[in-house]
Amino acid sequence: MNKIPAIIPVSSPDCQVNSWKYLLKTAISDPWQLLSLLNLHPDALPYNIDPSNQFTLRVPRPYIDKMQPGNPEDPLLLQVISQQAENIQVAGYSQDPLSEVNNTCPGILHKYHGRLLMILSSACAINCRYCFRRHFPYQEQQASGTRLNQSLNYIRNHSTIKEVILSGGDPLIISDEKLEKIIEQLEAIPHVIRLRFHTRLPVVIPQRVTTKLCQRLKNSRLQVSMVLHINHPNEIDTSLHNAVARLADSGIQLLNQSVLLKGINDNAETLILLSETLFASRIMPYYIHMLDKVAGAAHFDTDKEEAIKLLKEVRNHLPGYLCPALAVEKPDEPAKRLIS
């Protein structure tokens, strides 16, 4: 049976409550506190909470503000609440579903032609329960300190690399000052022409889109794009809309990728609304991924044939440019596989 602990205060008059760093620092990590903030009683939930999961709960206040109080099946809450279902071992779901650990040289994932991924940080602003990197040994792989120099040398020595993808964790969790230094070094490598961010931070803390960040990206010689990670239309509120408008006004190409998640966005109505809401915020739908079969996330998985049918239905209602490609990623394949 679940029990409710005392509520922990989440704001302090001494802090700058609207700065992204403060919002990051005060992210909620206690499931009982999260439920309390949403006026939910643990005994009335249709699922059991796991308060001691090693992949801890982590959710910042601006994201909680988008959840519907009193709704235990809120699609945003279900993405972050740690459930006992995560502890069920299911055949076919592994710790490293994309074999990334073996593919990696320190700080770098170089799987595809012409582009590679730099792991800038081990942390995220939010812990998504379905994350395929939930067991990833970030401490051994992140590109910081000496490893950052090794990563940059790797890029310098591989003239086929035209695009660098900053990833993590979440690359925007590092400060504007540190990012600035990395961007400068990438700009100094002549064969690199594109810079891409994969981030969920603006979605969960829109305040992360600072004027300084926008200006630096606007002034870069690199062609900059940002792939956001938005799974549900309820994640797009005025605050996020305004934040991404600042990025779009700075000339950043905005794209979105989602994961198809059972009970969260696996219906045509939600996916259609998601695409329309993204476009209204100047974000192009890009990919919708089948879940990567990571241990602990099997309860989010959807059937591939049903997914193909679902995307056909979405296509019947939307113009082509608003339909994301349904993709699956397989270890050791040279590109994502499009299945619809």
For residues 200 and 208, which CB has a smaller minimum distance to ligand SF4 in the complex?
200
Using the minimum distance from each CB to ligand SF4, give the nearer residue, 133 or 299.
Answer: 133
Rounded Cα–Cα distance for residues 151 and 105 (Å): 8
* Residue 295 sits in the site that holds ligand SF4 (CB under 6 A): no
Nearest-angstrom CA–CA distance, 171 and 151: 15
From the CB of 58, what's the least distance to ligand SF4, in Å? Answer: 8
Integer Cα distance of 95 and 75 in angstroms: 25
In the region spanning residues 67 to 86, those forming contacts with ligand SF4, defined by CB under 6 A, are none
125 close to 24: Cβ distance less than 8 angstroms: yes
Question: Which range, of 66-74, 127-135, 182-190, 328-336, touches ligand SF4 by CB under 6 A?
Answer: 127-135
Kindly identify the residues of this chain, within the stretch 141-160, that bind ligand SF4 according to CB under 6 A. Answer: none
Pick 127 or 250: Cβ nearer ligand SF4? 127
Q: Is 127 in the site for ligand SF4 (CB under 6 A)?
A: yes
In the complex with ligand SF4, which residue's Cβ is closer, 36 or 207? 207
Least distance from ligand SF4 to the Cβ atom of residue 233, Å: 18
Out of 66, 133, 208, 216, the residue judged to bind ligand SF4 by CB under 6 A:
133
Exposed / middle / buried, residue 44 (Cβ in 10 Å: 0-12, 13-18, 19+)? exposed
Pairing relationship of beta strands 325-328 and 284-289 according to DSSP bridges: parallel
- Binding flag, residue 128, ligand SF4 (CB under 6 A): yes
Measured in whole angstroms, the distance separating CA 94 from the mean position of its chain's CA atoms is 20
Q: What is the Cβ-side half-sphere exposure of residue 203, based on CA atoms within 13 angstroms? A: 28
Tell me if 47 sits within 8 A of 16, measured CB to CB.
no
Task: Out of 28, 40, 64, 131, name the contact with ligand SF4 by CB under 6 A.
Answer: 131
Q: Give the nearest distance from C-beta 126 to ligand SF4 in angstroms.
A: 6
* Token couple for 263: 């009970």
Q: Which residues contact 71 (CB under 8 A, 6 or more apart)?
A: 38, 77
x/- mask, ligand SF4, residues 87-126, rule CB under 6 A, reads -------------------------------------x-x
292 counts as binding ligand SF4 under rule CB under 6 A: no
Q: Pick the closer one to ligand SF4 by CB: 147 or 289.
A: 289
* Site mask for ligand SF4 (CB under 6 A), range 200-229, x = bound: x----------------------------x
276, 304 Cβ separation under 8 angstroms: no
**3-state SS, one letter per residue, for 281-315:** CCCEEEEEECCCCECCCHHHCCCHHHHHHHHHHHH
Rule CB under 6 A: which of 181-200 touch ligand SF4? 200
- Is there binding between residue 61 and ligand SF4 (CB under 6 A)? no
CA–CA distance, 340 with 182 (Å, rounded to integer): 37
> 170: which 2 tokens?
């979440």
Residues near 37 by Cβ (< 8 Å), separated by ≥ 6? Answer: 10, 28, 64, 69
Cβ pair 140, 104 in contact under 8 A: no
Q: Does 252 help bind ligand SF4 (rule: CB under 6 A)?
A: no
In the bound state with ligand SF4, the residue whose beta carbon lies nearer, of 202 and 318, is 202
Both tokens of 218, joined, read 């606007």
Binding of ligand SF4 by 170 (CB under 6 A): yes
Gap between the Cα atoms of 168 and 133, Å rounded: 9
Q: How far is the CB of 225 from ligand SF4 (least distance, A)?
A: 17
Q: Which is nearer to ligand SF4, 85 or 268 (CB)?
A: 85
In whole angstroms, how close is the CB of 200 to ligand SF4 at the nearest point? 4
Q: Which residues bind ligand SF4 (CB under 6 A)?
A: 124, 126-128, 131, 133, 170, 200, 229
